[in-house]
Chain A
Amino acid sequence: MEKMSRVTTALGGSALTGHTMHCHLDAPANAISVCRDAAQVVVAGRSIFKIYAIEEEQFVEKLNLRVGRKPSLNLSCADVVWHQMDENLLATAATNGVVVTWNLGRPSRNKQDQLFTEHKRTVNKVCFHPSEAHVLLSGSQDGFMKCFDLRKKDSVSTFSGQSESVRDVQFSIRDYFTFASTFENGNVQLWDIRRPDRCERMFTAHNGPVFCCDWHPDDRGWLATGGRDKMVKVWDMTTHRAKEMHCVQTIASVARVKWRPECRHHLATCSMMVDHNIYVWDVRRPFVPAAMFEEHRDVTTGIAWRHPHDPSFLLSGSKDSTLCQHLFRDASQPVERANPEGLCYGLFGDLAFAAKESLVATDSGRKPYAGDRRHPIFFKRKLDPAEPFTGLASSALSVFEMEPGSGSMSWFVDTAERYALAGRPLAELCDHNAKVARELGRNQVAQTWTMLRMIYCSPGVVPTTNLNHSVGKGSSCGLPLMNSFNLKDMSQGLGSETRLDRSKGDTRSDTVLLDSSATLITNEDNEETEGSDVPADYLLGDVEGEEEELYLLDPEHAHTEEPEYVLPQEAFPLRHEIVDTPPGPEHLQDKAESPHVSGSEADAASLAPVDASFSLISVSHALYDSRLPPDFFSALVCDMLRFYAEQGDVQMAVSVLIVLGERVRKDIDEQTQEHWYTSYIDLLQRFCLWNVSNQVVKLSTSRAISCLNQASTTLHVNCSHCKRPMSSRGWVCDRCHRCASMCAVCHHVVKGLFVWCQGCSHGGHLQHIMKWLEGSSHCPAGCGHLCEYS
């Protein structure tokens, strides 16, 4: 639990010390009051009236003021107050309307001093004048307030609130003659003690009874009032009209309110019912309590700060018959538990982030991100540890967008909309999709499509002489399927996701993990067996700046069907003279676990631009001639799909799955496919791409998916006889037990195509109805409806 450390206030050299502690009373307390020495507290209730000494570790009962054999109603206290100037003087308000004063200095056991029996009903509140030793004020349920001079037998003056019960009376600390009173009807009145005829000022403070009020000890014009409307309001009484300064919204009706000493904006409240906790509020932070004391198990009835200049110790009495001393530092602080930040990853990769405003403010002065769209992710804000609870807290809410490639989902939408998934030859689909991907800057994906095309489509006539494409000179070769990529661009587009996670244990586990600044993938495959009719040449370009390494891969693809075809080595120009390449092939071939005879280096095709930032991929067209069965690649393609799916690009997985159809379907288990489909469809729907989603459902080869379209289609049919909705399946109406699918023209049961008017529910054989409508637009059943068929 978080604890706020607070130094015990020094009080004229002697500091108050103590612990959070409680003691059990014999009976529920109604009110408490502290002696001015801060060492004793009086507890009063219906059947309790005791003084306790507040010691270091415990409360010690000092005096029981309830004496006498039979308890008098005069002792049933609604309120008690200890004079702040005279340690021996106390006053109680009795539930029978009597105001009693007590003199602790009396030598006898009975300390009762005076008895004023002027109020007719319960006295709710008594209050001593802050500076005048003999002046006592009382407020009663009977609607009157009385001022007593303790030297006289009767009240000096009576104030009539001209309204309902008085709930609280409090002498102003600022003005000698002023006191405030609060009423059950929501009013607050301000009186001059010299003028009992009428109040100085009156205003409506609350909706419903105002149970309590308290003058601010320092800001003397401030009056806090608490009401049944669960609010505490702070009024500035110095102005001509009482001005509402603050309004604290508590959880339950406010029974007591007490300003916290030495803390200008803090006040403590307790509730009359439901809520047993004591709260300390910062009035500038009206919604969250600054501190909360949760010790009591029943309604807290009295609260008092132990010393008028010490903000740490709060005493409380409760209906649960306990007296407690609370230490502020032991309070639970809901604010500390409160989450100061909100964070949400939006659909489009945007990020909503709400953070405390005070933190934002320190940052906004710096404006480090103005004009720089690339870096604003970090917005560090400093919390001022000295003042964890300053003022009104507020939050700034910002929405951040990702730049393409890093997390934005715009590519997803574009891609989904533009991809062609069916209706054209495979080669065209692949080319189209590759083009789409390339235009969106997704080179890895584009390349994948291109390779898929190469793998699964025979390319037509390819000049055999161009078996090898030197990458550096690629453009001069003028080949139709030359792919060149600027790796720098690519790596940006792909971010750190650029990797091809080949099936583990495969050939190039080392080369796969390249520096994320540049990675390339190839669909080379080493799993095939002996024989090599055609070398498929892939260049793996790694542009790690310092090394300028180029990996040359020359897997030789087996083709068992054409074993006799062996390509003469001379056909392949050797290109190994090109810089720095040697490590490539050896390196890879060493790693290769495939059983194939590593192609002689002569077979290796070549390449190699030396420019570190620019590399190309070349794919030998010879591949096409080989007529490798596409099956041959399917394991690889499946791995590729899984890779994309794992990267979160389920779109690619599903698109390829659809485009390739039967070619790869069987190699991926049904469940995985379903999962991809459902994930992709769900994503499409989130992006409101209903058409694409529907197309995907339609094209899906998975049974569970393609039935989704049917599952969401409902036909509502009415019986043609009774016109009521057909509830059961089939064509027999539950209600009139007739077959509903009768042709209105030929009066036979329709089997096959049934057409009906949605207006009158009549219909019949499609042919018959069509013929009928040529002659008449009215319903053939004779119901007179002008039937409409669309």
Chain B
Amino acid sequence: MAGLELLSDQGYRLDGRKAPELRKVQARMSVFAQADGSAYLEQGNTKALAVVYGPHETRGSRSKSLHDRAVINCQYSMATFSTAERKRRPHGDRKSSEMSLHLKQTFEAAVLTELYPRSQIDIYVKILQADGGNYSACVNAATLALVDAGIPMRDYVCACSAGFVEDTALADLCHAEESGGGTALALALLPRSGNIALLQMDARLHQDHLDALMEAAITACKGLSKVLDGVVRQHLEEVSVLTSD
């Protein structure tokens, strides 16, 4: 990857964005008729599909159900055609298991699980095209799917990735920026309270830059929450127009 400047002198990134700019977000809700809730989200070139089933009775072993809360079951997988080289093991490998666990924990904190004791909510997320920010796209798509399913949540859960190059914080990294060896931070936020539901960072970063990096990610998440809100409202309008006389 020699010769690829992540940030040019004029302040432009590889795809022509400025440092704090997000990629274009397009989303659709209720894409599947069978599932209780579904959503398709595109963040730049990253495409994620999320499907929610529930709340329903705990399937499988009874011992997994909790007497006072709902259990959230997440599965994260990548399509074999999602990356440049064909993925040989789409799910079951360590990275996918870890992502599934993190998604589960993120949504356990955001969904009001106390309203559905002894039941289970399933969230399935699939990455159709991976171009950086996989985790963020999953979380955003899953939020929309949960809203579509009508499951009550404390707030939107918005996630965004951020990086640090030459003393500037970049928001919403693409694949080339993520794998370039620089810092990559993934952050899931509940925008209204400013609570961080999940924080994950790889690669070396000096302690003093952490503040700036987190600020950039938080601002990006807040911007993203407005976009998601707009998508939900537009979907509601469309649906109400169709169902009304």
Partners in one complex: no
